[in-house]
Amino acid sequence: MAIAEITNIRGGRKKVKFNKVEIYTFLNEVLGFRYAVLNKEGYYLKNNNGIYECIIFDEIKYTFRNYIENNFDSFEFSNQIKFKDFINEFFAKRPIQDSNLLKSYLKKNLELSEENKQLLINYDA
């Protein structure tokens, strides 16, 4: 999964091009983030052993950042850029945004169990 492409530019600097589609797919498939609408209310969710917990949007960005930090060497671009430079580009370019595109990727093929629906209803109460 190519979440980013690194290219060399003048002066030995690196350019990072983030692939939002791949990042959003990664958030869904690897990190377990989802988005659901129930009773016309939208919720960001985190899968925790089959039970979804409501989270705030910022948790998605920081979980992704922590995953990258802890697993940086496993990404294909890790030999092209230092972690510090990569993460600085991540925060400068903000590829993960609270947008309709993100929500649509996180909603894809989501079916909530009755237990999960009840948790969301109780969350609003």
Predicted confidence (pLDDT) per residue in 24-33, tens digit? 999 999 999 9
Is the overall model pTM greater than 0.75, yes or no?
yes
Predicted confidence (pLDDT) per residue in 73-105, tens digit? 999 999 999 999 999 999 999 999 999 999 998
Residue 12 lies in domain:
4-124
CA proximity to 42, closest of 106, 92, 90:
106
Predicted confidence (pLDDT) per residue in 31-85, tens digit? 999 998 877 888 899 988 878 888 999 999 999 999 999 999 999 999 999 999 9
For the chain, the domain total comes to: 1
